[in-house]
A and B are shown apart, each in its own frame.
Chain A
Amino acid sequence: MNRRSITRREVLRAALATGASLSLLGSLARAQAQPPAWLDGGPLPWRNWSGFQHCRPARRLGPASEAELAALLRDASGGIRPAGAGHSFSGLVPSDGALVFLDNLAGVVDVDAERLQAEVWAGTRLAQLGPLLDARGQAMPNLPDIDYQTLGGALATSTHGTGALLGSLSSCVVGLTLATPGGELLECDATHNAEVFHAARSSLGALGVVTRFRLQNAPPFKLVEKTAWRDLDELLANLASLRGDNRCFEFYAFPHSQVALEITTNETDVEPYTLGSDDPDGLQLLQTLFALTRRLPGIGTKLYDALLRRSGTTEHADGSYRVLTHPRTTRFNEMEYTVPAEAGPDCLRELLRTIRERELDVCFPIECRYVREDDVWLSMFYRRPGFSISVHQFAELDFAPYFEAVEPVFWKYEGRPHWGKLHGLDAQRLEALYPRFRDFLDVRRALDPRGRLVNAHLHTLLGV
């Protein structure tokens, strides 16, 4: 499978209020721009996928059983944080205490063929989960764009894919087991320890460490994904039919451009095929193309748009888990807010206008997705269908000027930030956005009264 390039959709994916909160984001960027030096022979640092978040944990723990994990939590002195695969852009993981990795708690525990449910260890990487479920006659109904994450990390942050009738991954959880900071193993579902269940389906890793999830799955299915270049205004005018007529629909808007890349994904019975090839350097090519055309007054924008449109399209049909996720070998930092679905187009237009008027020197495509509402307490989609807008900046560039400029636009439209991505909100402002925020804090306080799982980022997020 070959899926990236400026000659394909990925290419173009690539060829691509101010105040205290913003200051916080900016100061974080400046303070963490210089990672600690790694000394050969010394303890290894921890860094996230983008390289922006980092720490020097005193201990890195890989429990081989739930009992061992529970004992570690009970007996740990100092701070302790679950680490997942390290793909979150936000500061959920960094701790100078202990980091817990669940790589040894991975795989499928059991399956219920009749109910199409599977119990899965939280340390399972999403990339491994697709084949594991397929071999057992099941598939997750939807997946995010990237599959590097652990299941536990993806669910802790309400990670999602796209589809107006499809919920976040957390909405597929029908049961879970939580290793509490006190060393208990707590089994939870909608009727048993229900309050903990509603909080722990998207927990930020603040309630303990979830060891396993029971997922409501679907029978295995095949999908075909197709990309097409559109005029942005025409695409926005057709949003209702695009999101209603396709199982999964998303698009990329391009800063300083009038074109958009439409991506539709639907069920199919055809044999696997791929049309079009991808270029792993597509985003770098986009960056170069943008820089060159920006220097051509008068014709630069038209030339940029024309070249984007000529960069090709792709089609890809295969099993669902092979189509929904994509390799991402250009690293970046990301901010994402979910606004009410009906407000999405206006928010996007204002965001693009802000980029244009402030002459922000950014070209990274802006990803726009629809997600169904759910009842997960800290979900961005809690009781509200969402339109998620993701802005990115190349990992080697300072994201702060860009993200600080556009974040107030998201706030204006009552955007809820993605927990695994960068934002500048604190507890006071988050409480106004998440109706069950107080309930979550109550559950957290009962489970971790001493705040042993609270790191600096969670201190800001939760106000504890």
Chain B
Amino acid sequence: MHASLGGPLALALLVGACGCFAEREAAPPIVLSEANARSYQVACATCHARRGIGAPVTGVEADWRERREQGIDALLVHTVDGYRGMPPLGSCGLCTEDDFRALIRYMAGLP
């Protein structure tokens, strides 16, 4: 049923392995579950994998440095309630609070 979307999901999305946060001390790779990897591709990546549209790009240190300083809880509230260009729930209506925390950590490079 999900064969059409399975290819990119099977890549297992390892931010830590891509070297994108190389400016910081090496952190263990952040691995998304299969379900969250699918949510990332379907919802988050629409904006957060696209440069030049104003959204912080996954794995780009300069985009996330100040946002990380706000802490995961602040980022979670912005995600659930919506904030500036960020739509409420990040367009992922099925995501739980735990899912959002995992996805934020993945994109922002938070341990």
Residues of A bordering B, CB below 8 Å: 1-4, 35, 38, 40-41, 44-51, 54, 60, 62, 64-65, 83, 85-87, 99, 101, 103-108, 121, 125, 127-128, 132, 147-148, 277-278, 280-281, 327, 329-331
Contacts and interface: CB of A to CB of B under 8 A. Distances in A.
Contacts of B89: 44, 46-47, 86
Contacts of A104: 1-2
B52 A331 contact: no
B96 A327 contact: no
A72 B51 CA distance: 40
Given A35-B81, A45-B80, A85-B91, A107 B1 contact: yes
Contact of B82 (A47, A87, A147): A47
Interface string B27-39: 0000000000011
Interface of B: 1-5, 38-39, 41-43, 46-47, 50-55, 73, 77, 80-82, 84-85, 87-89, 91-94, 96-97
Contacts of A278: 52-53
Given A125-B46, A128-B42, A47 B94 contact: no
A106 B38 CA distance: 10
B82 A107 contact: no
A161 B44 CA distance: 24
A47 B2 contact: no
B94 A101 contact: yes
A49 B87 contact: yes
Contacts of B50: 1, 327
Given A45-B88, A103-B38, A331-B85, 10 more contacts: A38-B81, A40-B77, A40-B97, A46-B93, A49-B87, A50-B87, A103-B39, A104-B1, A132-B4, A148-B87
Contacts of B87: 49-51, 86, 148, 331
Nearest to B100: A44
Given A62-B94, A106-B5, A329 B85 contact: yes
Contacts, number: 114
Going nearest first, the 10 A-B pairs with the smallest beta carbon separation are A107-B4, A280-B54, A47-B88, A329-B85, A2-B52, A327-B53, A49-B87, A108-B4, A62-B94, A329-B54
B59 to A, nearest CB: 19
B93 A83 contact: yes
B1 A60 contact: no
A35 B89 CA distance: 14
8 contacts: A38-B81, A40-B77, A47-B81, A50-B87, A87-B91, A104-B1, A106-B4, A132-B4
Contacts of B92: 103
B82 A64 contact: no
A99 B93 contact: yes
A41 B97 contact: yes
Contacts of A101: 93-94
A54 B80 CA distance: 12
B69 to A, nearest CB: 20
Contacts of B55: 329
A327 B4 contact: no
A107 B97 contact: no
B97 A44 contact: yes
Contact of A148 (B39, B80, B88, B91): B91
Contacts of B81: 35, 38, 47, 51
Given A51-B88, A86-B89, A103-B38, A4 B53 contact: yes
